[in-house]
Amino acid sequence: MPRFMMPNIDGLEVCRSLKSDPETASIRVVAMTGYHSPELEKKMLAEGAHVLLRKPFPSEVVVRECGFAELTTLPSEIA
């Protein structure tokens, strides 16, 4: 779940890298930003992101978008 802006690399580059590698191409990318724009969202989705979340957002949104909503118990890392 990359942030869009990080030191030395951005979320677009992370997503592009993950989606271009056959070993990681199936990973669901849930990006997040505090600087949302329709243009940024279009770019992120074009690079293969599942969704671009606007900060702030409720934790339930992250659980749903990461695919944990169907679990009866959450993994200990996020519980």
Query: Beta-strand (E) ranges in the chain?
Result: 5-6, 9-10, 30-33, 51-54
Spatial separation of the C-alpha atoms in residues 3 and 59, rounded to whole Å: 15
Residue 75 falls within a domain, yes or no? no
Q: What are the Cα distances from residue 35, in Å, to 24, 57, 59, 66, 74?
A: 26, 13, 19, 21, 29
Residue 59 falls within a domain, yes or no? yes
Instruction: List the domain range (segments joined by +) for residue 27.
Output: 5-65
pTM of model > 0.75: no
Q: How many domains does the chain have?
A: 1
DSSP 28: P
Spatial separation of the C-alpha atoms in residues 64 and 22, rounded to whole Å: 25
Q: What is the pLDDT along the chain (79 residues), one digit of tens a residue?
A: 455 556 788 888 989 999 999 999 999 898 888 889 999 999 999 999 999 989 888 888 888 888 776 655 555 655 5
**CATH number of the domain to which 14 belongs:** 3.40.50.2300
Reduced to 3 states (helix: H, G, I; strand: E, B; else coil), residue 74 is: coil
Residue 60 falls within a domain, yes or no? yes
Residue 77 falls within a domain, yes or no? no
Residue 76 falls within a domain, yes or no? no
